[in-house]
C-alpha cells in the first residue's frame, strides 16, 4: 500500500488532461439536480431473467474478447429500432456500441477536434458534452434558441461571422428532443432549416437523441439523420434512459470513415458483453412495454412539477412544459442569482443545477434545471414548495 507520494507527475501530464475531482455524489433531500431515473421503475426482474437466458444460450462467448463494434445482435436490434422509430436507413455495420452515449460523443469529439476548432451547441447544453468539448481544446460557441429549437437566423449569423473570421467549425451538436437542459423538442421546420444552413457552410451535425423514447405526450418529430442522405449527420443514442445508466450502453451511427477514426479513441476492447447480452435479450422481448410504463410514471412526475411550480412560483418565474424527457427549465427574472444560491439552497435541502453550468459562455445565472425523474411525484411537489420557501427566505421570491 502506498504511504507517501513523493514522486511528482506535474511535468508529465498531457496538455489534454484536466484534473477532475472525484465526484462526491452528494444528494440534497429534494434532489432536482441529477438526472437519475426512479430506481423503482428499473426493470430488474426482467434484466435478471434475460441475463440468465442469454448466458445459457451464448455465455461461453464471454471467453472471447467482444468484437470491437460490440455485440452484433444488439447492434441489429438498434438498427431495426432506428429504422422503425426514427426513419433512419441504417444497418448494424453503421453502428458502434459504446460505454454509454457519453463515450460515443467523446470519441466523435476526439476524432474531429483540434485545439482551437470551433464547435457549435445550442444555447445551453448537456454538461458532459460541454466538458468533453473543452477537454479537447474546442472553442465552444452557442447559438440562441427558442421553444422550437435553434433560431435559424442566429445560426446563419454565427456561421457567417465565423466564416468571415476564417474560423473552422467542425460540427454543430444538437439534442433535438427534450433538450437537456431546456426541455423543448426542435420542430421539423427548424430541423430542415438547420440542415440547410449547416450544409451551406459545410458543417456536419451531431444529433444526440438520448431522450427520444421518453415521450409521454405529443407527436414524434423525425430525426435529423432521416432528413439527410449525404452522410453529414452523425447520431448517438443511449440505453441509459430506457434501461438504466448503470448498464453503461450507448451507440453511435456514423459513416464508415468516421467510425474508423472514432474507434482510434475507443479504449477497453469493445463494450461490456455481459451487459450487452442482458440488454439485448431484454430489449427483444420487453422494451416497448417497459418504455410505456416508465413514461406513464414520468408523466405523473412532470405534472406534479408543473402544478407545484404554478402553485408556488405563480408569475414570479417562467418554466418550460416538456412533452417528455426529464427536465423542466426554470427562468427567474434577470438579476436573480440562482448560481450564487445553488450551494446555500443545496445545504438547506434542495438540489438544482443553475444555468451557467450548461452555458458555453457562462450565461443563465437566473435559470435552473429541475429534473423530475428520480423523486416520487409526492416528493416533487413537496420539494418545489420547499424550494420556493427557501428562495423566499433569500429574498428572491416574494411570498
Report if residue 238 touches ligand PLP, rule: CB under 6 A.
yes
Q: How far is the CB of 354 from ligand PLP (least distance, A)?
A: 17
Q: Which is nearer to ligand PLP, 66 or 102 (CB)?
A: 102
Report if residue 101 touches ligand PLP, rule: CB under 6 A.
yes
Q: How far is the CB of 174 from ligand PLP (least distance, A)?
A: 10
Question: Are the beta carbons of 398 and 348 closer than 8 angstroms?
Answer: no
Report if residue 240 touches ligand PLP, rule: CB under 6 A.
yes
Question: Are the beta carbons of 95 and 237 closer than 8 angstroms?
Answer: no
Kindly state the DSSP code that residue 389 receives in the 8-state scheme. H
Q: Candidates 72, 152, 245, 255: give the one binding ligand PLP (CB under 6 A).
A: 245
CA 290, CA 292: separation in Å to the nearest integer? 5
Q: How far is the CB of 237 from ligand PLP (least distance, A)?
A: 8
Q: How many residues at the interface with ligand PLP, by CB under 6 A?
A: 14
Q: How far is the CB of 60 from ligand PLP (least distance, A)?
A: 29
Strands 353-354 and 367-371: antiparallel
Q: Candidates 37, 70, 92, 100: give the one binding ligand PLP (CB under 6 A).
A: 100
Q: Candidates 28, 32, 33, 35: give the one binding ligand PLP (CB under 6 A).
A: 35
**How long, in residues, is the chain?**
399
CA 218, CA 303: separation in Å to the nearest integer? 15
- Report which residue's Cβ sits closest to ligand PLP: 100
Lookup: cell for 355: 444555468
Kindly state the DSSP code that residue 64 receives in the 8-state scheme. S
Lookup: cell for 49: 431473467
Point out which span in 50-58, 98-106, 222-230, 281-289 binds ligand PLP (CB under 6 A): 98-106
Q: Candidates 55, 68, 80, 128: give the one binding ligand PLP (CB under 6 A).
A: 128
Kindly provide the b/e burial profile for residues 360-394, where b requires at least 16 CB atoms within 10 angstroms of the residue's own CB.
beeebbbbbbbbbbbbebebbbbbbbbbbebbeee
Q: What is the CA radius of gyration of the chain?
A: 22
Q: How far is the CB of 96 from ligand PLP (least distance, A)?
A: 13
CA 185, CA 197: separation in Å to the nearest integer? 19
Q: How far is the CB of 182 from ligand PLP (least distance, A)?
A: 11
Q: Which residues contact 374 (CB under 8 A, 6 or more apart)?
A: 31, 34, 35, 36, 37, 38
Point out which span in 52-60, 99-107, 149-157, 389-397 binds ligand PLP (CB under 6 A): 99-107
Report if residue 37 touches ligand PLP, rule: CB under 6 A.
no
Draw the binding track, 102-121, toward ligand PLP (x: CB under 6 A; -: no contact). Answer: x-------------------
Residues lying near ligand PLP in the complex (CB under 6 A) are found at 35, 100-102, 126, 128, 175, 180, 208, 210, 238, 240, 245, 250
Amino acid at each position: 500500500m502506498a504511504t507517501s507520494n513523493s514522486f511528482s507527475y506535474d511535468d508529465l501530464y498531457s496538455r489534454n488532461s484536466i484534473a477532475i475531482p472525484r465526484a462526491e455524489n452528494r444528494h440534497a433531500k429534494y434532489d432536482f439536480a441529477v438526472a437519475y431515473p426512479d430506481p423503482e421503475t428499473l426493470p430488474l426482474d426482467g434484466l435478471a431473467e434475460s441475463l440468465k437466458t442469454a448466458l445459457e444460450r451464448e455465455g461461453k462467448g464471454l471467453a472471447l474478447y467482444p468484437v470491437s463494434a460490440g455485440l452484433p445482435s444488439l447492434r441489429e436490434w438498434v438498427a431495426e429500432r432506428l429504422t422503425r422509430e426514427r426513419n433512419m436507413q441504417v444497418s448494424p455495420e453503421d453502428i458502434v456500441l459504446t460505454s454509454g452515449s457519453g463515450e460515443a460523443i467523446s470519441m466523435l469529439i476526439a476524432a474531429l477536434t483540434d485545439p482551437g476548432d470551433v464547435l457549435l451547441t445550442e444555447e445551453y447544453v448537456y454538461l458532459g458534452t460541454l466538458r468533453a468539448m473543452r477537454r479537447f481544446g474546442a472553442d465552444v460557441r452557442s447559438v440562441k434558441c427558442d421553444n422550437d429549437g435553434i433560431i435559424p437566423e442566429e445560426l446563419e449569423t454565427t456561421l457567417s461571422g465565423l466564416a468571415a473570421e476564417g474560423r473552422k467549425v467542425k460540427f454543430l451538436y444538437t439534442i433535438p428532443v427534450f433538450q437537456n437542459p431546456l426541455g423543448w423538442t426542435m420542430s421539423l421546420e427548424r430541423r430542415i432549416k438547420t440542415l440547410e444552413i449547416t450544409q451551406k457552410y459545410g458543417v456536419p451535425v451531431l444529433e444526440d437523441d438520448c431522450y427520444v423514447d421518453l415521450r409521454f405526450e405529443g407527436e414524434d418529430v423525425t430525426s435529423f439523420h432521416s432528413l439527410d442522405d449525404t452522410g453529414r449527420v452523425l447520431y448517438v443514442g443511449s440505453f441509459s434512459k430506457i434501461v438504466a445508466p448503470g448498464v453503461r450502453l450507448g451507440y453511435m451511427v456514423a459513416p464508415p470513415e468516421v467510425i474508423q477514426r472514432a474507434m482510434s479513441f475507443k479504449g477497453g476492447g469493445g463494450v461490456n458483453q455481459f451487459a450487452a447480452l442482458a440488454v439485448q435479450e431484454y430489449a427483444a422481448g420487453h422494451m416497448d412495454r417497459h418504455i410505456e410504463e416508465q413514461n406513464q410514471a414520468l408523466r405523473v412526475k412532470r405534472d406534479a412539477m408543473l402544478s407545484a411550480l404554478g402553485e408556488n412560483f405563480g408569475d414570479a418565474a417562467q418554466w418550460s412544459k416538456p412533452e417528455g424527457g426529464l427536465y423542466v427549465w426554470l427562468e427567474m427574472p434577470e438579476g436573480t442569482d440562482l448560481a450564487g444560491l445553488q450551494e446555500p439552497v443545496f445545504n438547506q435541502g434542495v438540489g438544482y443545477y443553475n444555468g451557467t453550468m450548461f452555458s458555453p459562455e457562462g450565461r443563465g445565472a437566473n435559470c435552473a434545471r429541475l429534473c423530475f425523474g428520480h423523486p416520487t411525484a409526492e416528493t416533487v411537489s413537496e420539494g418545489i414548495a420547499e424550494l420556493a420557501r427557501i428562495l423566499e427566505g433569500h429574498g428572491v421570491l416574494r411570498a
